[in-house]
Structure 1
Amino acid sequence: MRVIDLSSPVDASFWEPDPVRHTAMSPAEGARHMVSEMREHFGLDLDVSMLPGGEFLNNDTLTLTTHTGTHVDAPAHYGSTASYRASGPRTVDELPLEWFYGPAFVLDISDVVGRGTVDASRIADECAKISYSPAPGDIALLHTGADQHVGTPEYFTDFVGLDRSAVAYLLDLGIRVIGTDAFSLDAPFTHILTEYERTRDHRVLWPAHFIGREREYCQIERLANLTVLPKTSGFRLSCFPVKVARAGAGWARAVALLDE
């Protein structure tokens, strides 16, 4: 089996709207920390010299949002209420794991310029172009080309998203998870707010996210390397989110699995 990484990294050197803070503890620092903790909490009189090389274990502390790097948006991310569920939308730790492993296919919308959206007709055309009929439980992946800008400010402004009709089209086919190599499944914030200023139409405000208040589904955002895939369908995707209790999203290591 061939395994292809479709994830973008969590990297504190990248430009992010919410910067990542990464503090690394070296093995030598880990030794001093362990000795101090043992003395304070357990009254053990230890010394760093007892450890081989004066080192213990390294550690890393990160401060970041659950939307940094490749991640899965849970229904709870879209709002506090859901018309389809009286008890409210599910958080990422409540979702069925089988949603995040299954057949996947890639649609190429990287030719779209203007940082806007594509509609249902474009999605239908792309499915026809690759001669693929999506089935319930499939995972849809969108190649926008945005991952070439990962780590830069352009990553958050130069990409194409889906409009409401495009998301509804995929959901009507029984798809529960839609992924993109862009920062968002919606158009960039700048495009959305400009359109709202022009139209004063609330329907242009994050339609790909807000439809999730009416229909239960998940997004995988900030994928990468979709162009590395040797085919547009006939492979499986694994994208299990980290089990962050009560969270609206969870980081994921998305990988494509291809039989050879």
Structure 2
Amino acid sequence: MRMLDLSTPIDAGQWEPEKVTHDIVSPAEGARHMSEEMKLHFGLDFDHTVLPDGELLSIDTLGLTTHTGTHVDAPSHYGTRGPAGRPPRTVDELPLDWFHRPAFVLDVRGVEASTAGADDLRAELARTGYTPQPLDIALLLTGADELVGTKRYFTDFRGLDGGATAFLLDLGVRVIGTDAFSLDAPFTDMIRRYQESGDRGVLWPAHFLGRDREFCQIERLTGLDALPPYGFTVSCYPVKVAGAGAGWCRAVAEIPEN
């Protein structure tokens, strides 16, 4: 079994719409900090210099959203109303068996519009000859990951329209991944089209469908062009953040050697 990392890193050195902070306490600083904490909270005097090299352990403190880096969007991210009027589930409430499943790739790099439609996906499935099975994970290859680390990554990409998203859900898919910043079209594109047409249906149709039909998205994947069209498994368990609308994940493809 060959394993392929499909995740983009959380990197405070890269530009993000929501700034990421990463503060590091070095092992030496950690030793001094521990000594101070032991005295403050437990009344114990401890000379940290007796530790090997005068060091204890490093500590990383990050400030970021759950939508930074590769992550899974939960139904509660889409709004306060869930299917059949029930409260939408948060990321810690989702069934684990959704996130370790056979997967298939939909290459939409040739689609000229800002969103791929259901006909585009049908044509791609016909080209690869694959018939999706219920709970398969669908991966949208847009090529947007080539722009990771730049501002264009957040404005130049291709999404799915509402009909294409519904098409995948009709096939039994419950997790849809993309190598782009969002499963919908870029914010600037959607707002421009709304201002031109007055049609509110162009605003976040893929996300808002989740208010009526329960599903998850994996956003900000990478390396989908290295995958076969099908015949592999994806593991993408989200971090168990209590009550959150999203959780970071380390998405990995498991590809049989043959």
C-alpha distance after superposition, 1:150-203 (max 9, x if no partner): 011000011000000000000000000000000000000000000010011110
Q: How does 1:66-85 map to 2 (within 5 A)?
A: 66-85=66-85
Q: SS state of the match for residue 83, structure 2?
A: coil
Does 2:242 correspond to 1:245?
yes
Residue type at the aligned position of 1:157: T
The answer for the alignment partner of 2:107 in structure 1 is 108
Does 2:215 correspond to 1:203?
no
Q: How many residues align?
A: 257
The answer for the alignment partner of 1:31 in structure 2 is 31
C-alpha distance after superposition, 1:218-252 (max 9, x if no partner): 000000011122x1100000000000000000000
C-alpha distance after superposition, 1:76-101 (max 9, x if no partner): 00001113252x00000000000000
Report the Cα offset of residue 259 of structure 1.
Answer: 1.8
- Identity %, equivalent residues: 62
Residue type at the aligned position of 1:198: E
The answer for the alignment partner of 2:232 in structure 1 is 235
**Mapped contact 1:84–1:216 kept (Cα < 8 A):** no
The answer for the alignment partner of 1:90 in structure 2 is 89
Could you list the runs of 4 or more consecutive aligned residues of structure 1 that deviate by over 4 angstroms after TM superposition?
Answer: none
The answer for the alignment partner of 1:6 in structure 2 is 6
Question: Matched residues in 2 for 1:84 and 1:135: separation?
Answer: 24
The answer for the alignment partner of 2:62 in structure 1 is 62
CA-based RMSD = 0.8
**Mapped contact 1:71–1:221 kept (Cα < 8 A):** yes
Consecutive unaligned residues of structure 2, counting only runs of 5 or more, are none
The answer for the alignment partner of 1:167 in structure 2 is 165
Q: 1:148 aligns with which of 146, 149, 163?
A: 146
Consecutive unaligned residues of structure 1, counting only runs of 5 or more, are none
The answer for the alignment partner of 2:176 in structure 1 is 178
The answer for the alignment partner of 2:21 in structure 1 is 21
Question: Matched residues in 1 for 2:219 and 2:13: separation?
Answer: 20
C-alpha distance after superposition, 1:18-59 (max 9, x if no partner): 011000111001101111111111111011212111100001
Q: 1:220 aligns with which of 218, 221, 225?
A: 218
C-alpha distance after superposition, 1:123-162 (max 9, x if no partner): 1111111110111010000000000000110000110000
